A and B are shown apart, each in its own frame.
Chain A
Amino acid sequence: QVQLQQSGPGLVKPSQTLSLTCAISGDSVSINRGTWHWIRQSPSRGLEWLGRTYYKSKWYNEYAVSVKSRITINPDTSKNQFSLQLNSVTPEDTAVYYCASGTSGYSLFDYWGQGTLVTVSS
């Protein structure tokens, strides 16, 4: 049974960087069949996939076009976790952020973190 535990601040000032971490238990971030994702949810955008990281002999990242210039997802094998950084945030980035896994190797999301409400406000 995979469990994902999110951590990070719930309030970020405009123009600053949103940073969240997702700790994994019950699986390994570097397992070949796993994909590790960040998804956000807001009333205006609904559920929006932001990006993923995965390992298949080397590390890969893929990002949504809407945030590609501002996003970084990094694995941390020493802590078995992965992180999200979103730069230059605006109030439109206010949302509940989820980490999620695709442990089958396909990008259907079989495990989710608990969610973190991030508010962008001064």
Chain B
Amino acid sequence: DIVMTQSPDSLAVSLGERATINCKSSQSVLYSSDNKNYLAWYQQKPGQPPELLIYWASTRESGVPDRFSGSGSGTDFTLTISSLQAEDVAIYYCQHYYSTPWTFGQGTKVELK
């Protein structure tokens, strides 16, 4: 199984400041035949299911604000919130979809400082 490890486990950020979340996979999720990274990011708020934010490591899902961006390739990925808003307080998860079983990171909790 591919193990997904996120860092940090939690971070506190002031309104308007940048939040950066890292995700590392135990093996590459870059598929050579199409040169795509099979990596997605989700946001989960209390009492709600996760919501897809980004797929192919850097493509924003329709309707996701452009303050959210994804980067990275191979085994190392980053989710950046460029200017944190109050509604961004949530837990963020990375997930690979390279091969079964699809696995998630343990989550990073983003709070307001």
**Interchain CB contact under 8 A, B101 and A112:** no
Tell me whether A27 is interfacial, beta carbon within 8 Å.
no
Beyond A106-B97, A112-B51, list 9 extra A-B contacts (CB 8 Å).
A47-B50, A47-B93, A62-B100, A109-B42, A109-B52, A112-B49, A112-B50, A114-B49, A115-B48
Q: Which residues of A sit under 8 angstroms from B61, Cβ to Cβ?
A: 110
Which of B48, B55, B102 has the most chain A CB atoms inside 10 A of its CB? B102
A108's partner among B40, B103, B107 (CB-CB below 8 A) is: B40
Interface range for B: 20 to 34
* Alpha-carbon gap, A27 to B102, bound state (A): 23
In the complex, how many angstroms separate the beta carbon of B41 from the nearest chain A beta carbon? 10
Interface range for A: 20 to 34
* Residues 53 to 109 of chain A near chain B (Cβ within 8 Å): 62, 64-65, 98, 100, 102, 104, 106-109
Tell me whether A26 is interfacial, beta carbon within 8 Å.
no
**28 A-B residue contacts at CB 8 Å?**
A46-B106, A46-B107, A47-B50, A47-B107, A49-B101, A49-B102, A62-B100, A64-B101, A98-B49, A104-B55, A106-B38, A106-B97, A107-B100, A107-B102, A108-B40, A108-B52, A108-B95, A108-B97, A109-B40, A109-B42, A109-B50, A109-B52, A109-B95, A110-B52, A112-B49, A112-B50, A112-B51, A114-B49
Tell me whether A113 is interfacial, beta carbon within 8 Å.
yes
Q: Which residues of A sit under 8 angstroms from B103, Cβ to Cβ?
A: 49
Q: Do most interface residues of chain A lie in helix, strand or loop, or is the interface mixed? A: loop
9 interchain residue pairs of minimum CB distance: A112-B49, A47-B104, A108-B40, A107-B97, A49-B102, A108-B55, A64-B101, A108-B97, A110-B52
Tally A-B pairs: CB < 8 A. 46
* Alpha-carbon gap, A62 to B93, bound state (A): 23
Q: Which residues of B sit under 8 angstroms from A65, Cβ to Cβ?
A: 101
In the complex, how many angstroms separate the beta carbon of B91 from the nearest chain A beta carbon? 10
* Alpha-carbon gap, A86 to B38, bound state (A): 29
* Alpha-carbon gap, A48 to B49, bound state (A): 13
Which of B42, B49, B50 has the most chain A CB atoms inside 10 A of its CB? B49
